[in-house]
């Protein structure tokens, strides 16, 4: 997770300052995961998307990685509101 520190800071802001419940991904850029671990985390994250009203995309400097792209497509297919941290550059 490229932006794990920023995601934690944003989730804290959303919960403490704005009163939202933030279901955040588990993991850290410094933790090595094997393929089974990655698959388990991905399944858990899709379940979190199912439980959510909206998905907040942490796209620092416009970056959206491969796994986030898959989660974004999943969220869109399931009619979830998509909120981007930074404005999308076109």
What pLDDT score was predicted for residue 48?
Answer: 94
Asked if residue 66 lies in contact with residue 2, where contact means CB atoms within 8 angstroms, the answer is: no
Whether the predicted pLDDT of 29 surpasses 70: no
pLDDT in tens, 31-88: 777 889 888 888 999 999 999 999 999 888 888 988 889 999 999 999 999 999 998 8
Query: Residue 14 half-sphere exposure, CB side, CA atoms within 13 Å?
Result: 18
pTM here? 0.80
């Amino acid at each position: 997770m490229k932006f794990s520190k920023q995601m934690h800071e944003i989730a804290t802001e959303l919960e403490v300052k704005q009163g939202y419940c933030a279901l955040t991904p588990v993991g850290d850029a410094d933790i090595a995961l094997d393929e089974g671990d990655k698959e388990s985390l991905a399944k858990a994250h899709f379940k979190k998307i199912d439980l959510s009203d909206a998905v907040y995309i942490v796209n620092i400097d416009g970056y959206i990685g491969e796994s986030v792209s898959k989660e974004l497509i999943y969220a869109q297919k399931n009619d979830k509101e998509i909120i981007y941290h930074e404005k999308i550059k076109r």
